[in-house]
Structure 1
């Protein structure tokens, strides 16, 4: 017990001495940033991700929708009540609706009073008039959309007959949160109270209704209700399965937040490793002296481990407090700027951050520190470099720890492996670039006309080529973080925001007949809207796959069964849209004109398990035609442009096949009354207003961007810590060089100029390396993640080199300013 007490006393004394000497302060600072950054980022990212997922529930009207074409089992409602979840019932079916002598086939939606549980139902008094928030219709009342209002020639306060029931029209639906924006649900809408449906007689024998239970509440309770294998006939839909344009935004948001978390953690870990290596080197003389005084290896091991444990606990506690305080400030700021309600704070991410901090110490700081135990006693008399074997062991342990950190942070071994390989590749490329640049600088050191400072700096860089490459790589990583933060925030995220411009199409016209095309274009031209592009479309039902007849019973997957039960929308074109990318096969162009080929989108491929060369037979209202799958496409559904699961070449669809056209255009809010004139002149055309959906997507993107700006601040802090640690790593060596130069007669001004020249050259090297890497990584993020174009940015290279030179010079001056005033004898004696 006395041995442990002695080791503890020694560890405490050594920690107190470390504050005065300064090297321990750097390690504590790096670890503190690691824990606070990791804790804040993990906690903040987790809360934002949950909030974004809850925000996407607005597109579904609930957190979970359970649906079936039969009445839902009562045990589902009992489970929901037991889990204290809010619920709403929705039934949907088709029926003819009458107003006086006028009738129209409509999609009837019967909802309970609490509908919707998420999102907002908005009503107007008249079609395309100002709207306000509302709940489901009361008993005896109905809401209709603008199309049904037009078809039934309704007036304010009018009545409609639904089955055996008459209902008062109480408003026009401007936005229905869970109504899809695709082209499959185009029937005019009537919404009524669920309690009125039984009295209407619409649920008699032979009626086909879709029964839905909407649920909202605690995410844990919702997750417990979703079975691994649903009962036959039941479909479970969650927010991530709702509208494609919103799902893409949320998915990319999660990926960006994950990347920001991993970047902050890896940079913080690199800073800890750099600072720990310097601290371990500082310990060697003292350990050699302890050995001379008779200290055992076991005592030294206990003392070193206790130093790390005390340091880790202190940094972990302070870092957790900083993370909690920072999170509170961020939450307050976020709620005021984004109007986003964050879930309650959980302590688990903070405890996880402290554990990760201790793991960083174990993997990055312990190996170089414990390797100091092997310092020979002769170290007291002469310096001996660390053995290559110990260096390799420290590197292997650091790599293993980094892989473990990535796995713990992501919970996904495959993603952790990918990030680890990408990080290793980035480090390798940075080191290679640094080596090439150092080789390119070698000829410049020759020549007598250059001043002493520049010659000294070039000579130092060339003489210590290996150390220069290592330091330039370390500095390059730190500068890479700074540059990448700037690029991501100012360039990539702005491009992503602008991907959905303010004048993106917000109105779709459906059911345009071929003979109406010229009159419709004339209407647009007369109102100053220019020429509107028209897409041809035919609606067909899949009846055979590879020559074998298919129907709903041919598929087991509930989503496929629901999808196959509807008609497919097929269009034809020779020119592929900018929001479509061919993933397999070749696009046909004009050479495909008249060929019975198909281009299938990813969703159709997944649902039907298609392969290139498969054949699909479609029935277009009695006209059947067989097509061969020629290529596969990936569609960016977030573009809000007309897109189709299936495309064919021009002239591939027979003339006998019934067809219609669709169009999209942008209409400012001030001109919405123009839609009333349009449907009055073309009563058969359906108007699909997606302005609310566009606002929702833009709001989600704004939330993501501002959340990322906060997260990137901690990545920036980690990068700065790494820069400081990289500069401090060579402070002892430069102090001795400074003392030697002063002993040989060099003045302080000359030494300072020489050191600043060396730091400037080193910063230029690191900045060039970081700029090249930042440009490459930005291109990768743009193309692979955000799906936006990205070209060269020459200004980034200049900015990187200039920022590198200035930052490294500033940090170098702060590190060595005391050494220039210290007597050479004192430095050389130490």
Structure 2
């Protein structure tokens, strides 16, 4: 009986199924992608690092750290630093990461170069491997030379990839690999230079890396060094990509929820139209269970078939993700297909379709034949206890499924709560709109306008479900655009004429005047000349840092204890900071106690407040200080911000180097300045903030493209729900429209009635969605990003009218059969 009835209603049942296919496809594709990503991270963890474990230090290792390193017998080593290089062939200059390698690194994976032989020959021949993209940019070829500080080396090959380097970091400072024996000849490792020493180890199969990490890491940490194993690195990478996966999973889950709403709505109308047929069956002896099972089997079949189709589509879709995320993955992702996602898709399709359709299905159980034969809007409903039980089951399922996706009970509860609130707000707005129209009905409007408004609260109306479906999809994609505008606003550097867009680092004291003169000789201003003094914390509130470091119960964050602070001294605050506690001390006289100003994040991580004492080790000299004030710093501004600022009159005689800033009008001026400074002062590093801005913007565009891709699932699923819901109500509306034609209504009037109705629905749903997105994005901007909120115009001028017109188009397509045929012909056809 279920099969026979399904064949007669196959068009509507296919639309029910379409509501859930996309959601299942999204969940399955992302689940399979996440599984492949984890498998690849585990299988390629050694290739990602190039070694079994690494010991690294931000300074030359101490005697004890070097003794530990020597006892483990490193198989290779590296010293790397960021510096400017020059191409003598054309005078081009670029900020790069110089990597001085010694030994047979990498032990796993390979250095890919053009020509391939350069990967091994560069050590013997004494040449340089230069990033392939950089060589294209400056038209350099193997055989040309590159100038690194005081050293000029031949380019023996173009570096395409190597373990340990990511695409994003290479975009900021492309790698240049040279033999380590040439590093001293560059004369670039001077006072204040940022450098890193790394030692690479290839472990035997019997070596227990976890135990090695447990035993050695505390000792190395005490010596301001660090140990990373390939397993810990893969776990760290896994956590990073896992956050992306969690977001995508939740986006897919929302798409699935939209599909389930479509199922519930469509089944509700479908069952109401079948009640008379069910009454006849019951009068002929069919039991409650039989009449209930006929339609339960249909919905279960829809769930199984929809889940299977969605899973198959998901398997195909997940093949796209490696191409979408290849800029962010440090390895080539190998895709493998397993039966698990197909099983999950089928099971999920069955369970969710039945669960969300169960409430309307129960109407076939709780009414007697006589009551069903007298069907009306106020007919007997299922008991409230059963209804609440079903709602509770749905919420429990949503929580458990969310928890399975994101593995965090608190966030799962928050997500379910936010989903319920959003759905509730949309439903309340729809109900409030209906009540408002009933109460303040525009009696003086034209007949067609009044009739279209009446349709919004007629029997079998779908105002609530359509507003929820349209509004939620619009809400998701509008929030994306509003938030994207906030994020891009945070990266707007170098866009104002008074802002510095060139930063010159590592200027030695004896070079300050000469560098300033070279800048001004090109008619450029020196906007700031900032002194930097490096130091480390020795004591915090009377406790030695080494003692705190060994305390397993410490609350002070690890980075504070190991960090080499680059501090400055000045007598004024800058525009990216303001005092939130204590008093700003601009200058000290000889003999005054030293009061410093610290950033709010340092105060929180070091557990410091105004009046606390900190002893700094300034190049071997201990300096006692007191926290005089705490500053809130806007780190999003790409300029020189500091965690520790001293007043004037303290550090003037300390070993220091300087950072100068200026502003250039265009790319040619920037290139000319960089070429001149690198030629005369090889040790300085130059950052062009316009390039940094372009990089950040391109990364954000890639991320938002991925988010757009997932938002597409939600909005498109909402459209499918919309089509399914409107098409389902078509059969009810046809009789009304035929009756209107019989009474003398013209095609134009019927068209206007339908057009106004769908226009109201589309405009109301999309407008509510955009307004909710506006409120949510405002909260994100103020409380999360702490940024001024300037809304994007796309949701208002593109998404809102676009969704409204789409709803209007789908609705008008429903009445074509009424307009093109005679009333009797239509009634016979539908019968």
TM-score normalised according to structure 2 size: 0.71
Q: Is the 8 A contact 1:249 1:701 kept in 2?
A: no
Q: Does 2:13 correspond to 1:24?
A: yes
Q: Distance in 2 between matches of 1:692 and 1:174?
A: 21
Partner residue, 1:651: 648
Q: Give the drift of 1:651.
A: 3.0
Q: Is the 8 A contact 1:109 1:190 kept in 2?
A: yes
Q: Give the drift of 1:546.
A: 0.8
Partner residue, 1:396: 392
Specify the SS of the correspondent of 1:569: strand
Q: Is the 8 A contact 1:287 1:375 kept in 2?
A: no
Q: Does 2:345 correspond to 1:353?
A: yes
TM-score normalised according to structure 1 size: 0.72
Partner residue, 2:618: 620
Q: Is the 8 A contact 1:444 1:458 kept in 2?
A: no
Q: 1:276 aligns with which of 267, 275, 279?
A: 267
Q: 1:472 aligns with which of 467, 483, 486?
A: 467
Q: Distance in 1 between matches of 2:367 and 2:276?
A: 8
Partner residue, 1:797: 796
Partner residue, 1:367: 359
Q: Give the drift of 1:286.
A: 3.4
Q: 1:541 aligns with which of 533, 536, 541?
A: 536
- CA, structure 1 residues 810+687, in 2 after alignment: closer, same or farther (shift >3 Å)? closer
- CA, structure 1 residues 506+741, in 2 after alignment: closer, same or farther (shift >3 Å)? same
Q: Does 2:710 correspond to 1:723?
A: no
Q: Distance in 2 between matches of 1:386 and 1:228?
A: 67
Q: Give the drift of 1:796.
A: 3.4
Partner residue, 1:291: 282
Q: Does 2:580 correspond to 1:586?
A: yes
Q: Is the 8 A contact 2:266 2:728 kept in 1?
A: yes
Q: How does 1:291-330 map to 2 (within 5 A)?
A: 291-328=282-319
Partner residue, 2:763: 764
Specify the SS of the correspondent of 1:342: coil
Q: Give the drift of 1:757.
A: 1.6
Q: Distance in 1 between matches of 2:201 and 2:691?
A: 21
Specify the SS of the correspondent of 2:216: coil
Q: How does 1:694-705 map to 2 (within 5 A)?
A: 700-701=699-700, 703-705=702-704
Q: Distance in 2 between matches of 1:63 and 1:800?
A: 50
Q: Distance in 1 between matches of 2:692 and 2:434?
A: 54
Q: Distance in 2 between matches of 1:800 and 1:632?
A: 41
Q: Does 2:567 correspond to 1:570?
A: yes
Partner residue, 1:527: 522
Partner residue, 1:103: none
Q: How does 1:593-604 map to 2 (within 5 A)?
A: 596-600=595-599, 602=601
Q: Give the drift of 1:769.
A: 0.8
Partner residue, 2:255: 264
Q: Distance in 2 between matches of 1:659 and 1:74?
A: 32
Q: Is the 8 A contact 1:312 1:358 kept in 2?
A: yes
Specify the SS of the correspondent of 1:445: coil
Partner residue, 1:431: 427
Specify the SS of the correspondent of 1:522: helix
Q: Give the drift of 1:772.
A: 0.5
Q: Distance in 2 between matches of 1:715 and 1:814?
A: 23
CA-to-partner distance for each residue in 1:688-715, whole Å, 9 max, x for gaps? 7999998986775454344334333322
Unaligned runs of 5+ in 1: 1-9, 78-86, 95-106, 124-131, 158-168, 198-208
The worse-fitting range, judged by mean Cα deviation, of 463-472 and 48-57 is 48-57
- CA, structure 1 residues 678+316, in 2 after alignment: closer, same or farther (shift >3 Å)? same
Q: Is the 8 A contact 2:22 2:255 kept in 1?
A: no
Q: Is the 8 A contact 2:269 2:460 kept in 1?
A: no
Q: Give the drift of 1:766.
A: 1.7
Q: Is the 8 A contact 2:209 2:229 kept in 1?
A: no
Unaligned runs of 5+ in 2: 57-64, 82-97, 131-145, 185-195, 221-225, 589-593
Q: Give the drift of 1:177.
A: 8.4
Q: Distance in 1 between matches of 2:459 and 2:119?
A: 73
Specify the SS of the correspondent of 1:231: helix
Q: Is the 8 A contact 2:580 2:632 kept in 1?
A: no
Q: Give the drift of 1:396.
A: 3.2
Specify the SS of the correspondent of 1:138: helix
